[in-house]
């Protein structure tokens, strides 16, 4: 009974982590002289129980979920893709180039081609750290981090140079033609169909990881590269596969920001979705289904933050601090697995001990 309870407490560790982070966030809100309860009511009420707020949450959910998957998938193999941000930028760039200069295909074909451009852009950008990791054992954390800044500069250059719209007051590209816009899913709002694709992608990945040999071997490589090599699995191929698919998903996020929301490429259009993807992947414990839940929560934080600022006067930057706190506590929670087994052993020992005592008393 106690063990069962402990196991539940342990399984819900991400939830506890979020609650502790929110509690510390409440203290921070108190320092601004506002009521934490009112602030959180505005935050979550606005994000999930309001028509416009919900649409804003769905708009954020699309890039966040794809970025979360982009981090979670390589993580299964033991690789830290801190470069989803750069991959989003390159995806947005490639999709815009395809949209503006590519062949004009009718209907859905045009949308698919544009999205493929995004997938390719993200994959190309992820291929650099993947190759360097696989063939030169270069630390992928540092390479992906540095490449983020390169990608942001490339997009910034593109929208203020070759792609810049004529007569634009500040750097952005020409608008892409309306046949390439993603359909809207909630009348009179910005919520677009990209979010449905993102959820389908998460479900698909979940099935692939759980039920296919590809998913199984990816996890084996992550768990024990030496054993995997011994079993005839190519560690290099798995590094490439997981990073390229991850990068492609991040690229798709960038493409959907252009095709579904902004309809043109802007300088600094991503606003840190790639870094939020890291938070989401950890919050979800790299589980694809968990990623949907975690991304929804994070999207709610993002969209509710503005409402909280307007209605309760608490600065939106609080949400940034909350994200950091959440990672700290989730990461700490993940580390507690060995502690749990120690507790479990202790309880087990206590139980056998009391059973022995009872037996002695009975006899």
Residues that bind another protein (CB under 8 A): 28, 31-32, 80, 82, 132, 136-139, 141-143, 145-150, 153-154, 156-157, 160-161, 275, 278-279, 282, 315, 317-325, 327-328, 331-332, 334-336, 338
Nearer residue to another protein within complex by CB, 152 or 195: 152
Per the listing, tokens 């995004």 go with 118
Least distance (Å) between residue 149 CB and another protein: 5
Nearer residue to another protein within complex by CB, 127 or 201: 127
Q: Which is it for the CA torsion 306, 171, 70, 77, positive or negative?
A: negative
- Please state, in angstroms and rounded to a whole number, the distance separating the CA atoms of residues 261 and 59: 8
Rounding to the nearest 10 degrees, give the CA dihedral for residues 201, 202, 208, 214: 90
Nearer residue to another protein within complex by CB, 191 or 265: 265
HSE toward the beta carbon, residue 347, CA cutoff 13 A: 13
Contact at 8 Å (CB) between 247 and 123?
yes
Query: What tokens does 152 get?
Result: 């942001």
- Please state, in angstroms and rounded to a whole number, the distance separating the CA atoms of residues 16 and 9: 8
Least distance (Å) between residue 245 CB and another protein: 21
Would you tell me the crossing angle of helices 288-312 and 273-283 to the nearest 10 degrees?
120
Least distance (Å) between residue 140 CB and another protein: 10
Nearer residue to another protein within complex by CB, 51 or 149: 149
Least distance (Å) between residue 160 CB and another protein: 6
Nearer residue to another protein within complex by CB, 147 or 218: 147
Least distance (Å) between residue 110 CB and another protein: 29
Please give the distance of CA 321 from its chain centroid, rounded to a whole number: 17
Q: Which of 323, 328, 338, 277 is nearest to 75 (CA)?
A: 277
Helix (H) or strand (E) holding 124: helix 107-136
Least distance (Å) between residue 138 CB and another protein: 5
Per the listing, tokens 């999205």 go with 115
Least distance (Å) between residue 308 CB and another protein: 13
Nearer residue to another protein within complex by CB, 29 or 59: 29
Nearer residue to another protein within complex by CB, 181 or 297: 297
Nearer residue to another protein within complex by CB, 112 or 331: 331
Nearer residue to another protein within complex by CB, 127 or 196: 127
Query: What tokens does 50 get?
Result: 């309001």
Query: What tokens does 91 get?
Result: 């995806």
DSSP secondary structure string, 192-254? BTHHHHHHHHHHHHHHHHHHSHHHHHHHHHHH-HHHHHHTT--HHHHHHHHHHHHHHHHHHHH
**DSSP β-bridge partners for residue 192:** 184
């Amino acid at each position: 009974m106690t063990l069962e309870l402990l196991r539940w407490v342990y399984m819900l560790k991400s939830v506890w982590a979020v609650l502790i982070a929110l509690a510390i966030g409440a203290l921070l809100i108190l320092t601004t002289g506002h009521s934490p309860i009112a602030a959180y009511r505005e935050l979550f009420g606005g994000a999930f129980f309001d028509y416009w707020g919900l649409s804003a949450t769905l708009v954020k959910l699309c890039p966040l979920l794809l970025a979360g998957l982009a981090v979670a998938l390589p993580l299964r193999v033991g690789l830290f893709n801190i470069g989803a941000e750069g991959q989003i930028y390159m995806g947005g760039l490639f999709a815009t180039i395809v949209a503006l200069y590519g062949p004009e295909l009718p209907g859905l074909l045009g949308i698919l081609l544009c999205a493929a451009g995004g997938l390719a852009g993200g994959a190309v950008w992820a291929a650099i750290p993947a190759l360097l990791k696989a063939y030169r054992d270069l630390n992928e954390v540092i390479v992906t981090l540095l490449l983020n800044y390169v990608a942001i500069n490339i997009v910034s250059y593109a929208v203020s140079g070759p792609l810049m719209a004529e007569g634009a007051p500040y750097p952005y590209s020409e608008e892409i033609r309306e046949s390439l816009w993603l359909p809207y899913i909630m009348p009179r709002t910005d919520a677009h169909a990209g979010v449905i694709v993102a959820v389908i992608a998460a479900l698909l990945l979940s099935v692939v990881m759980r039920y296919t040999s590809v998913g199984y071997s990816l996890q084996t490589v992550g768990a024990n590269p030496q054993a995997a090599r011994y079993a005839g699995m190519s560690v290099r191929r798995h590094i490439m596969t997981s990073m390229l698919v991850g990068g492609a998903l991040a690229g798709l996020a960038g493409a959907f920001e252009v095709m579904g929301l902004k309809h043109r490429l802007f300088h600094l259009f991503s606003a840190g979705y790639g870094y939020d993807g890291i938070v989401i992947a950890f919050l979800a414990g790299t589980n694809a289904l968990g990623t949907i839940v975690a991304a929804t929560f994070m999207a709610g934080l993002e969209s509710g933050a503005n409402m909280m600022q307007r209605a309760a006067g608490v600065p939106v930057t609080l949400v940034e601090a909350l994200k950091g706190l959440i990672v700290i506590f989730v990461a700490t929670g993940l580390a507690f697995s060995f502690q749990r087994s120690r507790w479990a052993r202790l309880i087990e020992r206590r139980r056998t001990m009391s059973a022995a005592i009872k037996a002695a008393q009975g006899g």
